[in-house]
Structure 1
């Protein structure tokens, strides 16, 4: 069950999604640049819960010949660099709406991955990808129609037969993933709910069907 601050947090971002998509994107860019006024605001690099979630997310994919990998909502790139290490033969790209976050990510990447500031609701990250990750991001897009748009955008980043992996708190993930679950162009190939770390989360995996979009 979410706490009162969590519920207020979600209500705030649902309200912001009443803006047009481009206006919402500008708001999110300003908000997350402010939020990243100090490094690693969510403690992604040191929190044991985050480490467990990253490990579970990568294990849900397993092996594969992935040439291009995208991490949507990468913040300062902690998970992006883990993905780069797990798939050293791939070109890995992290995108985040915060310019401040991706500047820090690029500074620590050492060439292992590329990073760019991009509003994924309105901007293309550059081509199509064999593997796309998106974690702890969809609840920021707000109300249902904007969530539908975000889900369609994530699918549009996939190369033919590409894999999409989304990770969000459980049971909230049921709502956040429902447009992906109902997308006729996506086949759900796996879901794992992890309740062993105090904050349950779900990792859901999808594959783009047919010849792509």
Structure 2
């Protein structure tokens, strides 16, 4: 790694360390702190530029292409932020009931405002701490993108992985999207879950910001 690359990676390392320290708390205490943090982070709209960044648009298209040809009646987007991907999934599956959940009330409020243009009204958003709360019912497709590194240490990552699996209907599909090669660690407990079968994994080296799209099916 060059010195310039090392300097660029330093903020990411500090970022990860901060969230790992949160995972020393009990799960409910961690969820409460995450809620406060992401409420603060969403003090301005679209803080990650999900709606306008071409890189994010390409990543969303890659994620949807990963399950192209499948049909889903119920779709859950975990960590939806302001709903950019959620609404794209709703367009891809117009007959599906689509739910986006995020720990930030501000984020889901903005997402709900954006979704009003969808005539069918089958897209909903809700504030939810997925480590400690259920979305209600089971889903044919669960997507969790750019979220698991906020969970922290391995014991909490194991809990998060079990929670995501618990949201699946029998035969349902789980899709995880995270930076590569960090995805190896973040997806480790899902990879080792005997109730899940890996369908596919795709690593994209997009503009020097590689990520993995990994999909699994519940037995």
**Secondary structure of the structure 2 residue equivalent to 1:171:** coil
* Equivalence for 1:154: 164
Q: Does the aligned pair in 2 maintain the 1:81–1:112 contact within 8 Å?
A: no
Distance 1:160 1:153 in 2: 15
* Equivalence for 1:192: 202
How many corresponding residue pairs?
Answer: 209
**Secondary structure of the structure 2 residue equivalent to 1:164:** strand
**Secondary structure of the structure 1 residue equivalent to 2:61:** helix
* Equivalence for 1:118: 128
Work out whether 1:20 is the aligned partner of 2:26: yes
4+ aligned runs moved over 2 Å, structure 1: none
* Equivalence for 1:35: 41
Distance 1:40 1:197 in 2: 21
Gaps (5+ residues) in structure 1? Answer: none
Work out whether 1:96 is the aligned partner of 2:96: no
C-alpha RMSD of the superposition: 0.9
**Secondary structure of the structure 2 residue equivalent to 1:14:** helix
Q: Does the aligned pair in 1 maintain the 2:179–2:212 contact within 8 Å?
A: yes
Query: Structure 1 residue 65: deviation in Å?
Result: 2.2
Q: Render the CA deviation track for 1:129-184: whole Å, top value 9, x for unaligned.
A: 00000000000000000000000000000000000000000000000000000000
Q: Please say which of residues 166-175 and 63-72 is displaced more in the overlay.
A: 63-72
Distance 2:70 2:95 in 1: 11
Q: Please say which of residues 62-71 and 26-35 is displaced more in the overlay.
A: 62-71
* Equivalence for 1:172: 182
TM-score by length of 1: 0.96
* Equivalence for 1:61: 67
1:130 aligned residue (140, 162, 182) = 140
Gaps (5+ residues) in structure 2? Answer: none
